[in-house]
Amino acid sequence: MDASLNIAVAAEFELCEKIAETLEQSELAIGKLSIVEIYPFDEEQGVRFNNKSVVQCSLEQVEWSEINYLFFAGDVEQLTSVAIAAESGCVIIDMKGVCAALSDVPVVVPTINESDLVELRQRNIVSLPDPQVSQLALAISPLLQTTNITQIFTTSLLPASYQNGETVNKLAGQTARLLNGIPLDDEEKRLAFDVYPQKTMALSAQFQKIFPQCNSVIFHAVQVPVFYGMAQKVTALWDYETEFQPQDNELIQYHDMNITPVINGERESGETQVKLHINPLSAVENGIEFWTVADEQRFNLAHLSVRLLEAIYHQGY
């Protein structure tokens, strides 16, 4: 394979670092990696790839026709630039499902529905769904191969990193202040030692793009005072009794003990293979329930996005 791929990343600094680390471990031969600063980096922040500093540039400086693939982890306000890049022939990997609502943009989770990548020809854009959706999809996929699920309920416990790096810094600052007896300002939104509900707009629609047969899936989400790592409690119901024998695979590891995203994230730090972790499955009436955890930055975003790029490349797009 020629080392001719020109890849760009448009994301926050911490996520750019994780994508670069994951790309180093991939089998893709990459000629050039660059950073598109849709979010400004601090002066001391710099990404390295294969022991070399990665070039950083602004949106206005990018020659999209020279870039083969773009990892995009921005928001709706930046979609105009994404459209320009796609029209120039650059294939866009929308990492957070921002484009997922567009009818001609496929929503793909690696190992589940990679055949849908054929739709890439329409816009040069593919969406990896929101991390809540990809985590649930991977956990549910083995069940769907043996059962006819009628309803799915999931509650996601969202860490500060699910929002952005600024939220992580706010949580750290608030935690330190409160532990030192310094009260927060009255108008300041409290993150430390508190929880509150989050809206889950369009997540069911993203899930049904992956599994059209699942027409009853409900997402709930709660913001929790954890820095990194997302957990989900999942209940799946069906019309008749069935047996399911869980088996580990390249993306999933089942456990016979209680697991937390914090502990598993620490254990996986620096490893070449991060996974989605699922604790013991418990039977309920006409169904099953279980608990899943993953490092939503390193696994749900960086690892799955690079796996998606590998699938795109090997299918010739």
CA distance 6 to 90: 10
> What is the spatial distance between Cα 207 and Cα 147, in angstroms, rounded to a whole number?
17
Phi, psi of 142 (to 5 degrees): -60, -35
Alpha-helical regions (H) of 30-130: 79-87, 120-123
Q: List, in sequence order, the alpha helices (H) in 43-200.
A: 79-87, 120-123, 131-144, 160-163, 165-179
> Residue ranges of the domains in the chain?
5-129+302-314, 132-295
- Determine the CATH number of domain 5-129+302-314: 3.40.50.720
Q: What confidence score (pLDDT) does residue 1 get?
A: 42
Compute the distance between CA of residue 291 and CA of residue 203 in angstroms, rounded to an integer: 19
Q: Write the pLDDT tens digit of every residue in 76-101.
A: 888 888 889 999 999 999 999 999 99
Q: Which CATH number fits domain 132-295: 1.10.760.10, 3.40.50.300, 3.30.360.10, 1.25.10.10?
A: 3.30.360.10
User: Are residues 207 and 140 in contact, defined by beta-carbon separation less than 8 angstroms?
Assistant: no
Q: How far is CA 88 from CA 24, 62, 95, in A?
A: 26, 11, 19
Maximal C-alpha separation, the chain? 59
The answer, as to whether pTM is greater than 0.85, is yes
Cβ-in-10-Å burial (0-12, 13-18, 19+) of 27 comes to exposed
Q: Which of 8, 172, 11 is nearest to 95 (CA)?
A: 11
- 7-37 confidence digits (pLDDT tens): 999 999 999 999 999 999 998 989 999 999 8
Q: Nearest 5 degrees, angle CA 181-CA 183-CA 187?
A: 165
- CA distances from residue 292 to 12, 96, 199, 248, 308 in whole angstroms, order as listed: 25, 19, 20, 13, 21
What's the mean pLDDT in 181-188?
A: 88
Question: What are the pLDDT digits (tens) for 229-273?
Answer: 999 999 999 887 777 788 889 999 998 887 877 765 566 665 567
Residue 313 near residue 23, CB atoms below 8 Å? no
User: What's 275's DSSP letter?
Assistant: -
Cα–Cα distance measured from residue 213 to residue 240, given in angstroms and rounded to the nearest whole number: 17
Q: Are 170 and 237 contacting, i.e. CB atoms less than 8 angstroms apart?
A: no
CB 203, CB 219: distance < 8 Å: yes
Share of the chain above pLDDT 90, in %: 62
Task: Judge contact between 94 and 306, C-beta under 8 A.
Answer: no
Confidence of residue 72 (pLDDT cuts 50, 70, 90): very high
